[in-house]
Amino acid sequence: MIDVTFALVEEAVRILQGVAHCTPVLTSSQIDTRSGARVFLKCENFQRVGAFKFRGAYHAIARLMSSQPSRVFATVSSGNHGQGLALACRLQGATAHIVMPKPFSAVKHRAVLGYGAQVHVAEDRSCADATLRELVSDYRAVVVHPFNDPFVIAGQGTVMVEFVDQVADLDIVLAPVGGGGLLSGLCLAAQALRPHMAIFACEPAGALDAMDSVKQNRIVPMPNPNTIADGLRTSLGELTLPILRRHVTGFFAVGEEEIVQAMQFAYERLKLVIEPSSAVALAPLLRQEPQLFGKRVGVVLTGGNVEWLGPWPYLDGTETMQREGT
């Protein structure tokens, strides 16, 4: 397997140039006041497909198409990786097969279809794996794993290359951890570009497998994750575990109530739509973690694909105001 190094991240930067958005970094006096830190928000919720996952998927497809004859790719994903792969394939003239295990959100299903992918609905995760095997044997589809893939990890690492270029002297970066693809990419880039920067992994308390895995130096499975942060329910992979062990400074465990409160804070105060997985990385600032106090803290807001809870039950203005009136 290809070595996952910073050189691979640098190639990803070149390949994603002009394709992925260089997402803006926003600041907010509201969150600075609340947290006691100087906070910089890297808005990957503004990325194509609404999440950083586009980076890794596009990079992987580009690299795989240049090295092998296949133009057919497949993955199992009910989430943002599926959308990222679908768009990455469409942009590069390839075919994407996205196996979506139930249950999944109607919005993401529509999005993947909208990007022109072949969608295969699977009753559960094990059916999904069987379908994936069929796709490989029937179509010679090349599988692009959501995180345990060197090209995917390198693509996600481009977030950090941009971030340290946009903001000088970040002391700490916070990012959520699920399978560890994003975090591994961030670590590789930080190690090369800002070796003294601390990187904290933020994980739902209801799915603390990454922290346990790093502690025990083995992939601790997560059979019954209990969190609304649907992007963070997976376990680490063989590629991501050693990178995290080497580079991650520490972990913050975040409760479910804190996740919802962070989403609400983003909505009401920052006017940003973020998904639960992103909220996990914002939450340590809102509870004023002592390690963050007085520091220049970067947060990767990983995505914003959540359902619109409107249209409001009221369309008539008067009714609105009466409903809200106190």
Shortest Å distance, C-beta 105 to a copy of itself: 4
Contacts (Cβ under 8 Å, ≥6 apart) of 26 = 40, 41, 43, 270, 272
Q: x/- string (CB under 8 A) for a copy of itself, residues 257-276?
A: x--x--xx--xxxxxxxx--
Q: Looking at residue 303, what DSSP letter applies?
A: B
Judged by beta carbon, residue 71 or residue 269, the one nearer a copy of itself is 269
- CA 141/CA 17 separation, integer angstroms: 27
78 flagged as catalytic: yes
Residue 68, classified by CB atoms within 10 Å of its CB into exposed (0-12), middle (13-18) or buried (19+), is exposed
How many residues touch a copy of itself (CB under 8 A)?
56
CA dist 72 to 95, 98, 110, 322, Å?
A: 5, 11, 21, 55
H/E element holding 200? strand 198-204
184 flagged as catalytic: no
Interface residues for a copy of itself in 118-157 (CB under 8 A)?
none
Q: Confirm or reject binding of residue 208 to a copy of itself (CB under 8 A).
A: no
Judged by beta carbon, residue 67 or residue 322, the one nearer a copy of itself is 322
Shortest Å distance, C-beta 229 to a copy of itself: 8
Q: Reduced to 3 states, what is the DSSP secondary structure of residue 276? A: helix
CA dist 70 to 64, 74, 76, 94, Å?
A: 8, 11, 18, 9
Q: Confirm or reject binding of residue 287 to a copy of itself (CB under 8 A).
A: no
Q: Catalytic: which of 35, 53, 184, 235?
A: 53
Shortest Å distance, C-beta 271 to a copy of itself: 4
Q: Catalytic: which of 35, 78, 213, 277?
A: 78
- CA 232/CA 88 separation, integer angstroms: 22
Shortest Å distance, C-beta 68 to a copy of itself: 30
Which residue shows structure tokens 């130096």? 217
Which residue shows structure tokens 């481009």? 158
Q: x/- string (CB under 8 A) for a copy of itself, residues 11-50?
A: ----------x--x-x-xx-------------x-xx-x-x
Residues annotated as catalytic are 53, 78
- Can you give the binding site for a copy of itself, defined by CB under 8 A? 21, 24, 26, 28-29, 43, 45-46, 48, 50, 102-107, 109, 206, 225-230, 233, 256-257, 260, 263-264, 267-274, 304, 307-312, 314-318, 320-322, 324-326
